[in-house]
Chains A and B, each alone.
Chain A
């Protein structure tokens, strides 16, 4: 459904992606992991079609949320979400309301996006992506500054989206979360995909890229209630 074929990209003369090929289909929740500077963001942007040379997908079917997405103006959360209807060229307040509810910010619809917490603003940006009612979501670090509960909440929403027939690709720093929610993990290292498999299988490769060891411990965790079997 979305794919790259032998794609290379460079930023400011430095090669960032080397001859990368990738394909994903609806129903998958793909976590993109790897060290800083590996090229994860460029990889996602290439799939979104905004890197020179990449094919531009249909904006009504693919929604992209960039890392640290910000709105230049102090719009209300409802207005931000409504921007997601631009590819369709219609207003469709029902779709916008659904998106706001899904991301848990329906109650904040009238508040201005620069006057709510960072996490709530991040959710507003996600609501914008959902408002497009796309077939695929490309998200660069969607849960980066969310508290643990919000983290789980959003990841569950994304999981539900994928299970409902959508495609989610999310850059996630927290490898553990990726293992808990994603159906597939892609490990990017120095501009190349070094692992592309079920999360548990890809985990050792991820560990190697980080220079860390894969180990088990009995650390205390904060888990969403009645969610056995995540970890």
Chain B
């Protein structure tokens, strides 16, 4: 593990501690019930979901050879949220535990599959991003449609959660549902380092280096599906983490895709935890009715980076 990862891990541990001390009940050590049932699941989920998003972004960028790749921007997060919406509002999620993240993972798998198929046609970088943005727009539209058709008359009001994410009032049950798939997905993705390095020379050359290209892309898809799908099921649609974190870490950890994986995982956890802390602090400081959406905070941070990266990428 290189230095960047170690530093990030230390910062992350610090933030985890701080996070347990911040909430609507005020700053400082709270009641045991609040700590255990509210702040702990929320803190751990922010770290886990963020880790999954950061690592997925790094892997997608390596696999698609595109610095603009991000599970939110490319529509994988949106497809996952769509799967979750359909499962939740039509009662499938209540049928058995695990149905909700399962449906979200199914959505993410479809989104991933479509993206890999687009990439296989050797589209140029910008074209791939366009395809991803189109997929994301379609997913958002279908989420809105699904919510408006849901048997619950108030479903459409919950659209901001599904499109822009949030971690308020998440429970230990949510942690138990999303934690294992995210960890499994991350474990899978972390092992793809050298393979992604080989891919930086192009799929043809990578094949001659002995890399099973198709299988590598499939493994990347499975890992991203697990991490992003489970995350979207409990936290809604959060984007830009997978875009910003690898970009910020490249000057420090190096340009090799393999070198970015572990740091991006730690960096993603740190970033989302920070955003969540901000979301909790904002109502304590400003006259806000409710917490700002997590996805809004990450988008506010990520959009300028998107512009900056897009200008560096040759047209």
Contacts and interface: CB of A to CB of B under 8 A. Distances in A.
Contacts of B148: none
Nearest to A63: B208
B200 A71 contact: yes
A65 B205 contact: yes
Interface in B67-104: none
B197 A45 contact: no
B255 interface: yes
Given A63-B208, A83-B198, 5 more contacts: A69-B201, A69-B202, A72-B202, A86-B211, A132-B209
Interface of B: 65-66, 194, 197-202, 204-205, 207-211, 254-257
Contacts of B207: 49-50, 56
Interface in A73-110: 73-75, 79, 83-84, 86-87
A45 to B, nearest CB: 7
Interface of A: 45, 48-50, 56, 59-60, 62-66, 69-75, 79, 83-84, 86-87, 112, 125, 128, 132, 138
Contacts of A75: 200, 255-256
A60 B211 CA distance: 12
12 contacts: A49-B207, A49-B208, A62-B208, A66-B204, A69-B201, A70-B201, A70-B202, A71-B200, A72-B201, A86-B210, A132-B209, A138-B208
Contact of A50 (B198, B208, B256): B208
Contact of A72 (B200, B208, B210): B200
Top 8 A-B residue pairs of the complex, sorted by shortest distance between their CB atoms? A59-B210, A72-B65, A64-B208, A73-B255, A72-B200, A87-B210, A86-B209, A50-B207
A86 B255 contact: no
B204 A50 contact: yes
A13 to B, nearest CB: 15
